[in-house]
Amino acid sequence: MIVPTFERPAHLRRTLASIDAQVGNQAIEVVVTDDGSTGETSEVVREYAKSCPFPVSFVTHQHAGFQLARCRNEGVAASRAEYLIFIDGDCVIPPDFVREHLRRRRRGIVLSSDVARLPKDASERLTLDRIAAGDIRKLIPIRERLRLRWSRTKARFYELTRHPRKPRLFGGANSLWRADYLAVNGYDENFTGWGAEDDDLRDRLKRCGIRIRSTPPHVAPLHLWHPPHATNPASWRDGNNVQYLLRPGKLRRCVRGFRKLERSEVLVRVLRVEIGADELAVLPTSYRYVPLNGSGHADVEIALFPGTSRFTNHADCRVLLILGPSVSAAEPLETQADYVVRPPANETPGTRVWSPRSELEKILDHVCGFRLQHDRAGGTAEAA
């Protein structure tokens, strides 16, 4: 069980108490992964570990802003289990939460549910004694119970209709196999500040064929009230991470995830049977390239025009690099591409002003996540 936390020791104490109160003799381990707290958080974990019949560990790092994605990756790195359950350190789980997640676990399935948001007064009444007694669901307001049921109904509909981006994955309450987590390289640590890291993980898991399945409302965690984080926007779309989340051609393996990837580990397929000296002259040297006859999945495909007629269906991102005049013959490829790199209207390839290698490198760095802000000032690369 991976439990992220930051500077809320009273909340964390109740979260850990709810883990201790789980029914059945579950073979679990708990990793509390801290975002750099300076208060009594480590002492809360130390005292908790003394009384537990299962292993409890604590990992932390220097605080440098809101780094929830990093916390979760570091928590997984400190764990040993083949099945992972994520529960935030401001949530209290019902007594049958772990049992239900383990009973319902399946390969290629992520289990997730929304949380019941408690108001301030109900959060204050959720004491350690009440958690130990298992008497917690009575504190959920009726409107929250109805909202959870409706959320579950919508999630089931999205599951049945195979919606491409739904149901939601709630990072504060989900579980999945470790192998599925590592298939997408975990959470993307480029997400800092509040929000969107769970949406990104969901998108990448679904692109690998891993499905999101909703758990029933009776096992939904109870979220303890606290003031919103300073980076929490009034509207989701105004969040600092949304533009990065919605970039075209996102890779299913994030480069700043559980393992930090180098550019040489990103597989780029060039849609030529052979890659000649002229093609190599326009390709950034730090990436790994394979020609068209390379087999299997590629992270990125680059189509060179003139000379390429179509993209394949075996890459996450498609980039069209136009090396000649932008004529109508390139239009079919443009409609398939996530990004198009073309000479400026008043320039010709080979001049000192326009560098296809530089523009292409900006695109690759941006879509992979090596470059967070794609600077188009004076550039000629565009999202298709």
| Residue 305 half-sphere exposure toward CB, CA atoms < 13 A | 22
For residue 257, being part of any structural domain is answered with: no
- The Cα-based distances of 313 to 115, 228, 266, 364 in angstroms read 38, 42, 17, 18
First to last CA, the chain: 41
Residue with tokens 């802003």: 65
Examine the domain organization and report whether 216 and 289 are in the same domain: no
Which range is least confidently modeled, 4-13, 87-96, 275-284, 341-350?
A: 341-350
**pLDDT at residue 350, as a whole number:** 53
pLDDT tens figures, 315-343 = 999 999 887 765 556 778 888 999 998 88
Examine the domain organization and report whether 215 and 275 are in the same domain: no
Examine the domain organization and report whether 160 and 222 are in the same domain: yes
CA 310 – CA 288 distance, rounded (Å): 21
For residue 252, being part of any structural domain is answered with: no
Examine the domain organization and report whether 189 and 106 are in the same domain: yes
Examine the domain organization and report whether 6 and 129 are in the same domain: yes
Residue 384 pLDDT exceeds 50: yes
- The Cα-based distances of 189 to 148, 193, 197, 228, 241 in angstroms read 29, 10, 8, 21, 11
For residue 31, being part of any structural domain is answered with: yes
If one counts the domains in the chain, the total is 2
Q: Give percent above pLDDT 90 in the chain.
A: 66
**pLDDT at residue 266, as a whole number:** 95
Examine the domain organization and report whether 237 and 274 are in the same domain: no
Note down the domain range covering 175. Answer: 2-245
CATH number at residue 268: 3.40.50
Examine the domain organization and report whether 188 and 55 are in the same domain: yes
Examine the domain organization and report whether 56 and 83 are in the same domain: yes
